[in-house]
Amino acid sequence: MDLTYFKRYRMEIELAGQDLSRVELPADYRFLAWDESLLDAFAEAKYRSFRGEIDSNVFPCLG
């Protein structure tokens, strides 16, 4: 069995309690509350974004 070492960092930020009222978004973009009906579309987009990428080997939740 081969062992490969990857030094990778996962960037996360806690958004709860953050004041986002002064954040400027590009035109035609807006913040929306999470809607459970978006879960399948989100999962598909995340899968396609990381499919075959090294991060999907490092972080199994991405692949």
From first to last of the 63 residues of the chain, give the pLDDT tens digit: 787 777 777 788 888 898 988 889 999 998 888 999 999 999 999 888 888 887 777 776 766
Count Cα neighbours of 11 within 13 Å in the Cβ-side half-sphere.
0
Q: What is the pLDDT of residue 31?
A: 84
Q: What is the pLDDT of residue 62?
A: 67
Grouping H, G, I as helix, E, B as strand and the rest as coil, residue 1 is coil
pTM over 0.75: no
* 53-7-16-24 Cα dihedral, nearest 10 degrees: -70
Q: What is the pLDDT of residue 38?
A: 93
Q: What is the pLDDT of residue 35?
A: 95
